[in-house]
Amino acid sequence: MTDWIDICAENALSDGEHLIVDVDGTEVAIFKLDGQFYAIEDVCSHDGVEIASGLLEGDEIVCPRHGARFCVKTGEVKCAPAYENIDTFPIRLDNGRVQVRDSRWD
């Protein structure tokens, strides 16, 4: 899939806020941090729970179930019990609109 999916207006989210969208059947969390947008799969690689409802600390999201931590910017796991990174998705601004795409099938 190479098409960009229109998500929301650039000003729809304030810093530290997020929203969940469906990207080709996958729940993706869109975060705004320091004026930049990031997109990660909304699932903990440890046990499959949704992570976006967890506590956001700086650029890390803390899984609400067991406390695993992931970098919102890179998907990198930062703290056990998770050991696998989570998927990130390309994101861009186009004419004031936030857009994301699913690059897993490229």
pLDDT value at 2 more than 80: no
CA atoms within 13 Å, Cβ hemisphere of 35? 0
pLDDT(93) > 50: yes
> pLDDT tens digits for 23-65?
989 999 999 999 999 999 999 999 888 999 999 999 999 999 9
| 18-22 LR contacts (CB < 8 Å, sep 24+) | 18/52, 18/56, 20/50, 20/52, 21/100
Q: The domain 5-100 is classified under which CATH number: 3.40.630.30, 2.102.10.10, 1.10.390.10, 3.20.20.60?
A: 2.102.10.10
Distance in Å from the first CA to the final CA of the chain: 7
Q: Any idea where the domains of the chain sit in the sequence?
A: 5-100
| Whole-structure pTM value | 0.92
Q: What is the pLDDT of residue 105?
A: 63
